[in-house]
Structure 1
């Protein structure tokens, strides 16, 4: 397996840093990196079930980056370790243009959500929504959770409240959970007047903007007939 990958320029390094930092504010864990055919796909987990009784949908963020090499790998690495390597690259004196080589951190093997692989093809368009609708759903959910969870609440109750709030559908989008809106908002994928395209394949829904993708694996009882 490749021990490094090459981004096309320092702007891409900055974009990857920003994406990982935003994801880390929600879930400070790991990132799944899949490289191949000149593209690096970086998946981060925003929501996922924490146990058999947890009804939370699996909600992943996805950003893609052009590669300047033929690296091919599928690795799950600690987000902080990758951010440290990106910061070291940024601190090195070099031209603002040109290829930037980033070394891969050591892999981790205990990340449950990383074993769920979203499909790469077979997506069917399901219309669109707008950024304002998703941002409103995200803000409303954040406010509801903050109001429902007093200081000192146990982790089990906190997770139950979050699961309930983020598992509800966005108003007018019966098959898009509010957790998808939260992910798009938290990752900085929404901007005023943006059109958000919706796609589906099997149990998966994808929300796509110019800034990135949100992938949702829905529970079986939410699937269309």
Structure 2
């Protein structure tokens, strides 16, 4: 689906470069994936699916979320588009040709992503505990190892998908316990940092793991 070109002005070239780094990490985790860009109240919500779930309700979907302020005089308020990583990477590459630019042209061609209809709550979250970044990274590395060791050569796509859902859907033995996929998301998106902590909150069927660098959510 095609729309007219819209723009996001993050107000600082470094903020746009930081967004590019985040999207690069997300693309490595889900190469054929997409990103939803949504402007809400002077901020852009940048949402990606690190792990895609199953069923009509998208059970097991793990979303990564970054929130960045935008300049109102250089941003279209109506931005709410889901676009492919490839098209956004192309736009970012064009931006690099304009030194010092903080404006991102949103790709006019949108894509369909089953998870893009999942909208996490914006308020009403209840804190349930905290985890160290070291603990989060350890859970992620253990899961990555389990997936690698449990995927023999020649394994079919359905078997690999089932294994990944089993590993990342399992609850950790941490306090508080979380779905391992949250740790995986925080790890691969670069949300953890040595000595830092992640807060864990819940809202209905949703669980959120948050650091100063971003949020990872699962339902």
Q: TM-score, normalised by structure 1?
A: 0.88
Q: 2:14 aligned to 11, 14, 19, which one?
A: 11
Q: Deviations over 1:17-40 (max 9, x none)?
A: 100010001112100111022111
1:81 corresponds to: 87
Query: What's the offset of the Cα at 1:93?
Result: 3.0
1:83-133 alpha-carbon deviations (Å, 9 max, x no partner): 211121122234xxxx62211113434210001111111111112111111
1:63 pairs with 57, 61, 66, which one? 66
In the other structure, the counterpart of 2:142 is 140
Q: What are the within-5 Å matches in structure 2 for residues 1-225 of structure 1?
A: 3-28=6-31, 29-51=33-55, 57-69=60-72, 70-72=75-77, 73-94=79-100, 100-173=102-175, 175-217=177-219
CA RMSD of aligned residues (A): 2.0
Q: Is the 8 A contact 1:33 1:43 kept in 2?
A: yes
Give every structure 1 segment of 4 or more consecutive aligned residues whose post-TM-superposition deviation is greater than 4 Å. none
Q: Secondary structure, in 3 states, of the residue corresponding to 1:120?
A: coil
CA distance in 1, matches of 2:65, 2:143: 22
Cα distance between partner residues in 2 of 1:180 and 1:7? 27
Please state whether the residue corresponding to 2:207 is helix, strand or coil: strand
For 1:2 and 1:198, locate their aligned partners in 2 and report how far apart those are by CA, in whole Å: 37
Gaps of 5+ in 1: 218-225
Which segment is superposed worse, 154-163 or 107-116?
A: 107-116
Determine the C-alpha separation between the residues in 1 that align with 2:65 and 2:55.
24
Contact 1:197 1:208 in 2 (8 A): yes
Gaps of 5+ in 2: none
SS at match of 2:65: strand
Instruction: Quote the offset at 1:175 in angstroms.
Output: 4.7
